[in-house]
């Protein structure tokens, strides 16, 4: 299911990170929409590819900031990022092999939940650590 952006739940108060998260959610929602619409496999694969490259960049930016600020929970946080990308990579690979390889809808539900929970917990913890006033 699509994620509705919510300032209350998802906005962390750091402009770059928030803008990045909004974009990631839009990219996720686009893949979700295309799968729901049963779009052509190449169209879904392209949207998945865009989501993947955008997410790789986002995670790299976050981890760079965490390294620079010597965030103590960086290893655990980076591991979460790695697991997410691994699973997303599997869906992307499966999307090139026709239908029935993987339940794409269930996977998209997992990614949407994951992203929402990750922002509200792991990313929020980092922002709180970095800016205790936020």
Closest alpha carbon to 25 in 124, 128, 119: 119
Please identify, using beta-carbon distances, which residue of 83 and 103 lies nearer to Fe ion. 83
- Compute the least distance from the CB of residue 5 to Fe ion, in Å: 14
Please identify, using beta-carbon distances, which residue of 81 and 92 lies nearer to Fe ion. 81
Chain positions 61 to 100 lying near Fe ion, rule: CB under 5 A, are 62
Decide if residue 32 touches Fe ion (CB under 5 A): no
Decide if residue 18 touches Fe ion (CB under 5 A): no
- Which listed range, 29-37, 66-74, 109-117, 119-127, lies at the site for Fe ion (CB under 5 A)? 119-127
Decide if residue 107 touches Fe ion (CB under 5 A): no
Considering CB under 5 A, how many residues would be counted as binding Fe ion?
2
Three-state SS letters, the chain: CCCCCCHHHHCCCCHHHHHHHHHHHHHHHHHHHHHHCCCCHHHHHHHHHHHHHHHHHHHHHHHHHHHHCCCCCHHHHHHHHHHHHHHHHHHHHHHHHCCCCCCHHHHHHHHHHHHHHHHHHHHHHHHHHHCCCC
Which residue in 123, 124, 129, 130 binds Fe ion (CB under 5 A)?
123
Q: Which residues contribute to the site for Fe ion (CB under 5 A)?
A: 62, 123
């Amino acid at each position: 299911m699509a994620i509705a952006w919510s300032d209350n739940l998802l906005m962390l108060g750091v402009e770059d990170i928030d803008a990045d998260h909004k974009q990631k959610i839009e990219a996720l929602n686009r893949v979700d929409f295309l799968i729901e619409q049963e779009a052509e496999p190449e169209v879904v694969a392209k949207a998945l590819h865009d989501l993947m490259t955008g997410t790789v960049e986002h995670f790299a930016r976050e981890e760079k900031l965490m390294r620079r600020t010597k965030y103590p929970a960086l290893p655990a946080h980076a591991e979460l990022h790695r697991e997410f990308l691994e699973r997303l990579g599997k869906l992307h690979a499966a999307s090139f092999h026709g239908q029935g390889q993987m339940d794409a809808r269930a996977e998209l539900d997992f990614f949407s939940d994951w992203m929402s929970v990750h922002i509200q917990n792991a990313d929020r913890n980092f922002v709180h650590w970095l800016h205790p006033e936020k």
